[in-house]
Structure 1
Amino acid sequence: MDDRDAPPPGSPAFPGHQAAACRTVDELDLAVTDCHACPRLVEWREQVAHTRRAAFKDERYWGRPVPGFGPSDARLAVVGLAPAAHGGNRTGRMFTGDPSGDFLMAALYEVGLASQPTSVAADDGLRLYGVRLSSPVHCAPPDNRPTPQERDTCRPWLARELELLRPTLRTVVVLGGFGWQALLPVLAAAGWRLPRPRPAFGHGVRFTAYDPVDGRELTVLGCYHPSQRNTSTKRVTLPMLVDVLRHAAGPAGLAGPRPDGKG
């Protein structure tokens, strides 16, 4: 399609058009950051970036859609909910700069999938091994609650990301019910055969989807989201999250030993 026919960044059709045109994960990550398709989310993310939290008053917020993070040949994808207002929306990196990010990173580090146990800033040197982090919604939503319409408008970004990861992707860990409800239609639309009835979300729920064309299998695991509320009430603990990630990585793991020799 001629670029002159491309919908503008503020159009609901923008994610679908731009995502389909991306041939690499890097192209997709760049395209995501230009999106203005959801007016409520655009207003909120920019308002937060302007007013800022007192603890970060001297920082310049990202204030844009937050792309996925991790290698383009990942075997494991972790799908969350949306960037945090003063986390990813501030730092510009998924699961970075907030307690949820540090909780997840501590678990990934324990399993040998991250180079360090914290995720503080986009330039903190963090590296992920064999795992990529993404979300169904790429803008910080008010009260951490995207609407179903916002989820559906943003869906092409996640769909294309998983399509680009497909040659290497073997497992998906979904953090929370919102991500679960968003992911399953994406997999079905991409041709993955899902169990019937479709499994309901729950911590530790696991199923295998398969491609009827080439027989390839994709394992999907559910895990409670490491939100501050869930971690403070012990709904999800670090050992619980580590256990899910260990199962996702498999007995051989996804990468070699950690640089510190502990993995």
Structure 2
Amino acid sequence: MTDLEDLDRQVTECRACPRLVAWREEVARTKRAAFAAEEYWGRPVPGFGPPDAALLIVGLAPAAHGANRTGRMFTGDRSGDVLYAALHAVGLASQPHSVHIADGLTLYRTRITAPVRCAPPANKPTPDERDRCRVWLTQELTLLRPTLRAIVVLGAFGWQALLPVLATAWQIPTPRPRFAHATHITLPATDPAGSALHLLGSYHVSQQNTFTGRLTPAMLEAVLLEAKKAAEL
């Protein structure tokens, strides 16, 4: 893999998981009534953000009528509304809204990705689908490693999917750290010349969390500000 642009192109061509391929394409054909006039993306969704990112945001998977429709992570759905508003509030995004892939949004030294790149039925990928998709996250982390200093993981699924990938470059404590909102641990590099990585957790920006108040904008912004400081942004 030569660079992130090449990786992102290869991600969009993946058809490794038959169930996810069938679902994402069925959703793109049938559409939601509110988006009936739009052409859905209907493919795996690559990461979004610059190749020199110091901060990485890790979610779960594309939403069926969000990123699976627009082709950009957390774009065009309620979860994205919350995330990008918070990123803008702490100075990591150029605007607080993410409506479509050509809306002009820019992330500052920040990239957004997910351990599963296709929209799964009921937002629940299987363990096998998660593990099969791991190759993309592994390659993405390898390319980002020279500049990456902090990661914010949104939710327990992303946390569990990410730790095995991080173990190739950073030292993971035993027992493995558990996910919790606002947790912050520092992982030393496996290579003495490498940089340590700050790993932070936040509840996912799902409607289940944001509509019930389990995750408030202030809570999310606090985690992002801590991550921004850790990444020296």
**TM score, norm. by length of structure 2:** 0.98
1:73 corresponds, among 48, 52, 57, to 52
AA matched with 2:203:
Y
What secondary structure is seen at the aligned counterpart in 2 of 1:83?
coil
Secondary structure of the 2:9 match is helix
Residues matched between the structures, number: 232
Are 1:151 and 2:130 counterparts?
Answer: yes
Deviations 1:37-91 (A, max 9, x none): 0000000000000000000000000000000000000000000000000000000
Contact conserved, 2:87 with 2:224, CA < 8 A, in 1?
yes
In structure 1, list runs of 5 or more residues that go unmatched.
1-21, 255-263
Q: Does 1:137 align with 2:116?
A: yes
Q: Does 1:212 align with 2:190?
A: yes
1:101 paired to 2:80:
yes
* Structure 1 residues 174-213: aligned runs within 5 Å: 174-188=153-167, 190-213=168-191
> Structure 1: which 4+ aligned runs deviate by more than 3 Å?
none
Structure 2 unaligned spans of 5+: none
Matching residue of 1:44: 23
Mapped partners of 1:67, 1:215: distance in 2: 26
> Scaled by the length of structure 1, what TM-score is found?
0.87
Tell me the amino acid that sits aligned with residue 225 of structure 1.
Answer: H
- 138-147 or 203-212: which moved more? 203-212
Root mean square deviation, CA, Å: 1.1
What amino acid is the match of 1:211? A
Q: CA contact under 8 A between 1:107 and 1:238: conserved in structure 2? A: yes
Letter in 1 for 2:181: H
Q: CA deviation at 1:191?
A: 3.0
How has the CA–CA distance of structure 1 residues 170 and 153 changed in structure 2, closer, same or farther, with 3 Å as cutoff?
Answer: same
Q: 204, 209, 212: which one pairs with 1:230?
A: 209
Q: CA deviation at 1:215?
A: 4.9
Write the letter of the residue equivalent to 2:87. L
User: What corresponds to 1:259 in structure 2?
Assistant: none
Q: Which amino acid aligns with 1:82?
A: A
Determine if contact 2:198/2:230 at 8 Å carries over to the other structure.
Answer: no
Q: How far did 1:137 drift?
A: 0.2
2:101 paired with 1:122: yes
Q: Which residue of 2 aligns with 1:25?
A: 4
* 8 Å contact kept, 1:113–1:130: yes
- 2:194 and 2:76 map into 1 onto residues whose CA distance is 40
For 1:161 and 1:108, the matched residues in 2 are separated by 21
Distance in structure 2 (CA, Å) of the matches to 1:195 and 1:221? 15
Residues 47 and 72 in structure 2, CA contact (< 8 A), matched pair in contact too? yes
Structure exhibiting the larger radius of gyration computed from Cα positions: 1
- % same residue: 63
Mapping for residues 82-93 of structure 1, pairs under 5 Å: 82-93=61-72
**Cα deviation per residue 1:159-216 (whole Å; 9 max; x = unaligned)?**
110110000000000000000000001011x131112211110101111111132252
1:59 corresponds to which of 38, 58, 76: 38
